[in-house]
Amino acid sequence: MTGRLGGASRPGVRSLLEVRSAAGQVLLLQIMVAVLLIAAAVVALAFQTRQDSERDARNRSLAAAESFAEAPGTVEALRSRDPAAALRTHTDAAQRGSGVDFMAVTAPDGTRYTDTDPALVGERTEGVERATAGTAFTEVFKGAPNDAARAVVPVTDVDGSVVGLVTAGVTVENVGDAVNRHLPALLASAVGVFALAAGSAVLVSRRLRRQTHGLGPAEMTRMYEHHDAVLHAVREGVLIIGDDGRLTLVNDEARRLLELPAGAEGRHVTDLGLDAPITGLLVSGRTVTDEIHLAGDRLLAVNTRPTAPYGGPPGTAATLRDTTELRALSGAAEVARERLKLLYEAGVRIGTTLDVVRTAEELSEVAVPRFADFVTVELLDPVLRGEEPTGAHTEMRRAAVNGVGEDRPFQPVGDLVRFVVPTTPMAAALASGHAVLEADLRVAHGWRAQDPVGAGNALAYGIHSLVSVPLRARGVVLGMVNFWRSQSTGCFEEEDLAFAEELAARAAVAIDNARRFTREHAMAVTLQRSLLPRVLPEQDALEVAYRYLPAQAGVGGDWFDAIPLPGARVALVVGDVVGHGLHAAATMGRLRTAVHNFSALDLSPDELLGHLDELVSRIDEEEGDGEGDSITGATCLYAIYDPVSGLCTMATAGHFAPGLVRPDGTVDFLDVPVFPPLGLHGLPFETSEVRLPEGSRLVLYTDGLIEHRERDIDTGLRLLRQTLADHADATPEETCQAVFSAMLPPHRRDDIALLVARTRLLDPARVADWDVPPDPAAVAPVRAACGRQLETWGLGEIGFTTELMLSELITNAIRYGSAPIHVRLMYERGLICEVSDGSSTAPHLRRAATTDEGGRGLFLVSQFAGRWGTRYTPTGKVMWTEQPLTDGRQSAPEPDLDDLSWLPDDPL
C-alpha cells in the first residue's frame, strides 16, 4: 500500500514540474527555498532564545545567592545556636525580592538550614562540593527536587573559612516559559518573512511570465521556430534598427525591397546604400504611418515604431509595403473623395448671404486652389441689379476674380467682358449649356482671337488650361464661371467637366436666390422710401434733423414724421410695424397716412393712439389668413410740442420713451406711461406732459438703434445716454451723426429711425390775447385792439381782413358758445388767430340760401384765411385761422370787397 502511494506521488510531482511554465517552476523553487530558510532561521532563533534564557537564569541566581551570602548578619546567623530560625525569615524575603524560584541556606556539608520549600529543610543538597571548597559556581542542575538553573555561593568568615552555603535558582519549567513567550514573535516574524519572500517570488514570476508569455521551454522553442518562419515568409519587409543606428534584424522581403547586400545585419543604416530620405527616416527615430518613400523604382509605404515601449531594447521597428501598383487606384479614389468633400463645402460656403456679388465671390473662393488656380465669374447686368435676365448673353459684367497669386492676369471686377467670337470656349459653353474644356490654351485660336492682348498676358503668366461653365438656374442663363490652371498644376481633363458643372449648378441656384432677394429688397426699399417723408415741413417751433436706414436683409416698418399743427404746434411721430418685407412697408404707409388724418382733427395723443389702435386691429383682422401671416401689432410714440408754453404732451403704445437733453447737458429718458403695442386692444392710453426749456433736444428712435444681436436693450440705452451726454452742445444734425457713428450695428437686421428736435419758444412779444365778455358790444373793442396790435407788428396791411374774420368768430362764440371767451393772436411764420369758448359744439361751413339772413360768416373766413379749423380742448373748443405771410406781407392780395360774385344770386 505504502509502495503504491509512494509510486503515485513521484509521477505527480514530476508532472507538476514538467507541465508548469518556466515562470511557474521558478516560483515553486523560490517558495521551497524560502520555506527551508525560514524554518532553519526559526529553529536557530528558538535555540538561541533558550540559551539566552538559561544564561539569564544562572546570572540572576548567582546575583541573588552572592547578595544574600555577603549580606550583613548572614555569617552571625550561621554561627548562632539556631541558624534555621535566624535565617528563615531573611531567606524568604530574599527569595521574593530577587525573583528566583527558590533559595536555600545550608551547612558546609550541604545540609539545609532553610529552604523555600519547608519540606526540604534538613535535607542534604547534592553537588555542592566545589562551593564547600570555597568556589562559587552556576549550573543547570537535574535532579530532586526540580531541574533548575542554580547558583551555589559559599559564605566565608573573616578568616576565610566556609561557614555555610547559599543556593538560589530558577526552575527549568520557568526557563521554558520564557522561551515560549518568545515563540509567537518568532513565528510572526517567520510568517512575515515568508510573505515577503513569496511576494517577491510572485513578482519575479509575473515578470518572467510576461517575458515568456506563460510558455514552457518546449513551447518557447516552437514559438521561436514559428517566429523565424513567419518573419522570412511574410510579404512585408521588417527591419529592426538598434539605438546606435545599426541594423539588428531584417527579413527576406525587406532585403528584396531595399536590395540590401549580404551581411547587412550589424552594419550602420547609413552604410547600406539606401536613398537619403528613407535612410534619414530609419535613423531619426520618428514614428510615422504609411509614409511614402521612393526606393529605386518602387514606392514603399513605411511604418516606424519605437521598440522600447513593447518590451524590447531601445531602437526602431520598421515595416515596408510595396504600394507601386496600388498607388494609381488609390490616387483616383482620393481625387473622388476630395471632390465630394469640395462639393459639400460648396453647399455650405456658397450662398451664406443674399448678395449677388458676394455669392459669386464665394464660388471663386471655394474652387481656389483645390480645383483651379484662378476663377473668374461673369454675370449679366440685369442679374446684378436683381432683375430677370433678358437679352443676348454675349456681354457680361465681371463679378469676381480669385486666384493663388496677388497678381492676376485677368480683367478686374466691374469690367464688361464680351464673347463675340463663337469659337471661344465661353461662347461654346453658353451655346450648348454644358461645360467646355480647353486643355491647351496655346492652341485655342478662338480664345486668342477674342482678346489677343489679354490672352497673351495670361499665357505669359503661365495659364495653360481652361474649363468654361454656364451658370444656369430654372433653365435661364445668369452668367458663367471660368476655371483656369497655371503651370504649377496639371491640365484639366475630361473627368473634371462633371465636377465643374455640379459646382456651377449649386452656385447658380444660390446666385438666383440672391438675385430674387435683391429684386424684392429693392422693391420694398423703393416702396418704403416712397411712403416716408422726403423732406420735413417747414416750421419754427422745432429744429429737426433725422436719419433713416433700412435693414440690410430686408426692409421693415419703421417710420417717423413731423406734422405742423394749428397754433404753431408741431407733432413728432415715430413708430415701428412688426415684421419685415413688403407687407410691413405697406402697412407702415397706411399707418403714417392714418396719423396724418387723425392729426388733422387735432386730437390729443391718447385719443389719436386709441383710433390708431382700432385701425391696426381692423387691418389685422381683414388681412390675417389664419396661418399667422398678420401684422400682430405696431408701436408708436406721438408727441405734441407747443412753442408758446413750451409744453410737450406725449403718449406711447409699446414704444421706447424719448430721450431728453436739457440745455445744461443733463440727459434723461422721459417717464411716459407704458402701454401695449397697437392692435392688442389694451386699456385706454394716457398722456404725459413735460415743460421743455428752450434749447432742449428731444430724441425719438426705434429699437433697431439700441438693440441687436451683440447688444441688449439696457446696454443700448446706456450707450445712447452716454453719446448724448458727450455731445451736449451739438446741433440736431450733429447729434444724429454722433449717435449713428457710435451706435450703428455692423449688420443691420432691423430698420433704424432717429428723430432729433431742438425746442424753440415763441417770443412773448409776438403773442397777444384778450378775454371777451359774452356781450355783442364787446366785439368792437376787441376788434380795435387787434388792429392796433397788428399795426405794432407791422401787419397793418392785412388788418382789415383779420378784423373781419375775428368779428365773425367772436360773434359766433358769443351767440352760440359759452363763457369763458378768449382771443389770442400769434405772429410766427404767419398770423394765427384763435377764438376759444367753453362750448364743445363746433360750427360747420355750409352754403347759405338766397333767403337766409345769416350763415355766411364761416364762408367769409374760409375765403380770407389760408387755413382754418376747430380743435377741442378739455374745457371747450378753439376756432383758429392761419394767414401765411411773405416778408411781413400777405402772400395773396387783399380781397376786393366790391366784388360780390362769390355771393349767391339775389332773386330780389
Report the 3 state secondary structure along 858-904: HHHHHHHCCEEEEEEECCEEEEEEEEEEECCEECCCCCCCCCCCCCC
Of 327 and 75, more confident: 75
pLDDT at site 370: 87
Q: Is pLDDT of 732 > 90?
A: yes
pLDDT at site 144: 65
Mean pLDDT of 640-645: 93
> How many Cα atoms within 13 Å fall on the side-chain side of residue 321?
12
Mean pLDDT over all residues of the chain?
81
All cell numbers assigned to 587: 402697412
| Cα angle value 114/118/122 (rounded, 5°) | 55
What span, in angstroms and rounded, lies between the C-alpha atoms of 719 and 725?
A: 10
Q: Is pLDDT of 674 > 80?
A: yes
| Cis, peptide link before residue 145, omega less than 30° from 0 | yes
Q: Is pLDDT of 17 > 50?
A: no
Question: By the 8 A CB rule, do 413 and 398 touch?
Answer: yes
Mean pLDDT of 458-466: 90
The amino acid at residue 473 is: A
Place of cell 457710435: 742
Rg (CA), the chain: 61
Of 160 and 324, more confident: 160
Question: By the 8 A CB rule, do 399 and 381 touch?
Answer: no
Q: Which of 166-180, 463-477, 511-525, 706-720 is predicted with the least confidence, judged by mean pLDDT?
A: 166-180
Of 216 and 272, more confident: 272
pLDDT at site 173: 65
Please choose, from the candidates 296, 59, 290, the residue with its C-alpha nearest in 3D space to the C-alpha of residue 170: 59
Q: Is pLDDT of 670 > 90?
A: yes
Q: Is pLDDT of 381 > 50?
A: yes
Most confident listed range (178-182, 365-369, 636-640):
636-640
Question: By the 8 A CB rule, do 167 and 106 touch?
Answer: yes
pLDDT band at 847 (very low <50, low <70, confident <90, very high): low
Please choose, from the candidates 708, 619, 694, the residue with its C-alpha nearest in 3D space to the C-alpha of residue 661: 694
All cell numbers assigned to 356: 449677388
Q: Is pLDDT of 865 > 70?
A: yes
Q: Is pLDDT of 413 > 60?
A: yes
Q: Is pLDDT of 872 > 80?
A: yes
Q: What is the pLDDT of residues 202-224, one digit of tens each?
A: 777 776 666 666 666 666 667 66
pLDDT at site 718: 92
pLDDT at site 297: 72
Supply the DSSP string of 573-637, one letter for each residue.
EEEEEEEESHHHHHHHHHHHHHHHHHHHTT--HHHHHHHHHHHHHHHHHHH--SSS-S---EEEE
Q: Is pLDDT of 311 > 80?
A: no
pLDDT at site 220: 66
CB-based burial of residue 598 (10 Å sphere; 0-12 exposed, 13-18 middle, 19+ buried)? Answer: buried
pLDDT at site 534: 72
Of 178 and 736, more confident: 736
pLDDT at site 326: 59
Please choose, from the candidates 222, 212, 225, 224, the residue with its C-alpha nearest in 3D space to the C-alpha of residue 24: 212
**CA quadruple 438, 442, 443, 447: dihedral, nearest 10:** 60
Of 477 and 405, more confident: 477
Question: By the 8 A CB rule, do 283 and 245 touch?
Answer: yes
What span, in angstroms and rounded, lies between the C-alpha atoms of 695 and 646?
A: 10
pLDDT band at 533 (very low <50, low <70, confident <90, very high): confident
Please choose, from the candidates 514, 495, 432, the residue with its C-alpha nearest in 3D space to the C-alpha of residue 469: 432
% of the chain beyond a pLDDT of 90 = 19
Most confident listed range (152-161, 232-241, 305-314, 822-831):
822-831
What span, in angstroms and rounded, lies between the C-alpha atoms of 884 and 623?
A: 43
Supply the DSSP string of 725-763, one letter for each residue.
HHTTT--HHHHHHHHHHHH--SS-SS-EEEEEEEE----
Q: Is pLDDT of 688 > 90?
A: yes
The answer to whether the predicted template modeling score (pTM) of the entire model surpasses 0.85 is: no
Q: What is the pLDDT of residues 550-581, one digit of tens each?
A: 877 666 778 889 999 988 899 999 999 887 76
pLDDT at site 77: 80
% of the chain beyond a pLDDT of 70 = 83
The amino acid at residue 94 is: A
Q: Which of 241-255, 260-274, 466-480, 889-903 is predicted with the least confidence, judged by mean pLDDT?
A: 889-903
Question: By the 8 A CB rule, do 870 and 878 touch?
Answer: yes
Q: Is pLDDT of 344 > 90?
A: no
Question: By the 8 A CB rule, do 313 and 242 touch?
Answer: yes
Q: Is pLDDT of 853 > 60?
A: no
